[in-house]
Amino acid sequence: MSDCSAELAQKSLKDFASVIENKMLSLLPVSEGREENVIEAMRYALLAGGKRLRPFLVVQSAALFSIDNESALRVAAAIECVHTYSLIHDDLPAMDDDNMRRGLPTTHKKYDDATAILAGDALLTLAFEILSDEKTHSDAEIRCDLILALSRAIGAKGMVGGQMIDLKAENQSLQQDEIIRMQNMKTGELIIFSCEVGAILAKVSDDRRMALKKYAENIGLAFQIVDDLLDIEGNSEDIGKTAGKDIEAGKATLVSFKGVEEARALADELINNAVSHMDVFDEKSEVLKSLAKFVINRAH
């Protein structure tokens, strides 16, 4: 596959951004009353840009099974709410302590720490409200399956657990398998869930669901390697956040463990694996294959 296909995915992602932003706006509570500050902060964080990779994966995985667009978009919006909550909390002084995200002041800098914590909490809660609503799917079993899979992906054995390991890992020497486990929990699990959504909505639990999980596992790890490479090689303006923070904090990453060249080669291999897992879907998976290429070519 040529780099041209990565450009196609990039364009599709760009076109998709306004679609998912409108959907998220429509799902936000009305900003009024004495609580309006927290709703404003939710809106600020949600609309501050971002690649919208996870919601795009949801919609593309749903398209493989010809799922109703409204169902897919609602789940996509819920996942972007969860992702945005994780970024707001990650940027707080008690965690990664960053002033800049997506090229803008982080939510706690724009508002204050307490408002940012509450905006993150409310976005996480909103995600579950969206998933449990009948408008997302008329079949309660499917709604429960979505909620169960998301809960497992982002809890103590998923994203939150990965963040805990990451926070403890500064200036500790993690082994390669421990780094991979930490990154899979912190970043990979939500990406895996995003890709699985199509199969959950279609109620299939066969080789096609497994293929989506394998695709996602591979792009998730490659995505993280590229993120670590950008931290070293990118500049703050391009990546929209402070560059060089991981090195400064002495964080163990696959790049610090393997070196730049070997890490880049591993990311290439992971992307090739991801693409081959999509063969089971024939030409229907063309966009997901292109997206895998975009993950490795991205500059932010």
In the complex, minimum distance from the CB of residue 205 to ligand GRG, in angstroms, rounded to a whole number: 27
In the complex, minimum distance from the CB of residue 207 to ligand GRG, in angstroms, rounded to a whole number: 28
* Residue closer to ligand GRG, measured from CB, 29 or 161: 161
How far apart CA 197 and CA 5 sit, in angstroms, is 24
Q: Which two tokens stand for residue 227?
A: 């993120």
How far apart CA 100 and CA 267 sit, in angstroms, is 27
In the complex, minimum distance from the CB of residue 50 to ligand GRG, in angstroms, rounded to a whole number: 3
In the complex, minimum distance from the CB of residue 32 to ligand GRG, in angstroms, rounded to a whole number: 28
Contact 192, 219 (CB under 8 A): no
In the complex, minimum distance from the CB of residue 95 to ligand GRG, in angstroms, rounded to a whole number: 6
Write out the residues near ligand GRG by the rule CB under 6 A: 50-51, 53, 86-87, 89-90, 95, 102, 159-160, 163, 186-187, 224, 227
In the complex, minimum distance from the CB of residue 92 to ligand GRG, in angstroms, rounded to a whole number: 8
Collect contacts of 158-164 with beta carbons under 8 A, ≥24 apart: 158/185, 158/189, 158/190, 159/86, 159/185, 159/186, 159/187, 159/189, 159/190, 161/185, 162/186, 162/187, 162/189, 163/86, 163/90, 163/95
* Residue closer to ligand GRG, measured from CB, 196 or 209: 196
Contact 74, 135 (CB under 8 A): yes
How far apart CA 122 and CA 144 sit, in angstroms, is 20
* Residue closer to ligand GRG, measured from CB, 51 or 110: 51
In the complex, minimum distance from the CB of residue 241 to ligand GRG, in angstroms, rounded to a whole number: 7
Q: How many CB atoms are closer than 10 A to CB 135?
A: 10
* Residue closer to ligand GRG, measured from CB, 161 or 208: 161
Query: Which secondary structure element, helix H or strand E, spans residue 101, and what is its range?
Result: strand 100-101
3-state secondary structure of 205: coil
* Residue closer to ligand GRG, measured from CB, 72 or 221: 221
In the complex, minimum distance from the CB of residue 175 to ligand GRG, in angstroms, rounded to a whole number: 20
* Residue closer to ligand GRG, measured from CB, 201 or 226: 226
Angle at which helices 113-132 and 140-154 pack, to 10 degrees? 150
As a whole number of Å, the end-to-end CA separation of the chain is: 22
* Residue closer to ligand GRG, measured from CB, 73 or 88: 88
How far apart CA 174 and CA 246 sit, in angstroms, is 14
* Residue closer to ligand GRG, measured from CB, 84 or 281: 84
In the bound state, the residue with its beta carbon closest to ligand GRG is 50
202 CB-contact burial (10 Å; exposed 0-12 / middle 13-18 / buried 19+)? middle
